[in-house]
Amino acid sequence: MAIPANLIDNTPDYYDLPQKIDNNGELYEKYLFEKLRGERLTPIGFRPAGSDSNAPDIKFMWKGNSYNLEVKLNKVADFGQSGLTYVNNKWKLHGKKGIAHESMRTMLLNMGIEDFVNSKAGWGGLGKPRLFELKDAKPKPLSPTWADKQEDFGKFLDKYIPIPNNTVTNYYKGKNVNYLHIGGLGTYYMGADPAQMVQPTGMQRFQADLKLRIRKKGSSSSPNYRFSLALKLASTPNESEFDIETEDAIAVLNDNQVEY
């Protein structure tokens, strides 16, 4: 019996190394970077972050200074992620090293997310996932089969819980990112506007309800999978009057550069 298509989430997250170039989010980031670079609106020598979540997606120029910009393909994109592992009969936050990853886990831990996952409302009481039984196998770990994947996907159903509306802003503040672009909605400032762009651009402040998705991650073409968390929009923010992708916005940026 095949796993239902609606249970498959094959979009890359930070566990996918190297990040595939067919990831639409990364392609969009590269497209926007090339558009800005063509107008000399990015710092000399800068390249997009790609799969490095510790680095800014894009840097743009405004009045002679560069500012970090986070880029999201659309409103259904992930706005932050963390991994999950299962140790000593408990779910634990897990992931790569690095300031961004560690700050995300600390933030989620302080929000009580680990406790929620281990509660009856989460995945507590469902036992050890087949995936981790295989990883803990002796004398060596075993790879999951399609049957293993189907068992875990059927048992550990995705959960959604509301989280504070300032979670995304606080996370990116820790990465020194104050500006956010969402494809189809425009460009926003998050909490602070260090470039003082609001008045000349009409840029909106990013405001939206947020939720945390507790999920499985895997493709429809491979039995490999994992467990992870993702910050998601629970409501759609109002469209910003400033959209850095448009020609009008490019013109405003060009009008606010410093001539050397």
- Per residue in 27-38, pLDDT tens? 899 999 999 999
Any domain includes 250 = yes
pLDDT at 101: 85
pLDDT at 108: 96
Any domain includes 260 = no
Q: Which of 124, 56, 144 has the alpha carbon at shortest distance from 84?
A: 124
pLDDT at 23: 67
Q: Which residues of the chain have pLDDT under 50?
A: 1, 3-5, 7-8, 10, 12-22
pLDDT at 26: 85
Q: How far apart are CA 58 and CA 49, in angstroms?
A: 7
Any domain includes 227 = yes
Any domain includes 113 = yes
- Exposed/middle/buried for residue 195 (C-beta within 10 Å: 0-12, 13-18, 19+): buried
Task: Provide the domain count of the chain.
Answer: 1
pLDDT at 100: 81
pLDDT at 12: 46
pLDDT at 21: 38
Any domain includes 190 = yes
Alpha carbon 110 to its chain's center: 19
Q: How far apart are CA 83 and CA 105, in angstroms?
A: 9
Any domain includes 56 = yes
pTM given for the model: 0.85
Could you tell me how many helices (H) and strands (E) the chain has, helices first?
A: 8, 10
pLDDT at 50: 65
The order of strands in the sheet holding 204-205 is 58-62, 65-72, 179-182, 186-189, 204-205
pLDDT at 55: 78
Q: Range of 195's domain? A: 5-255
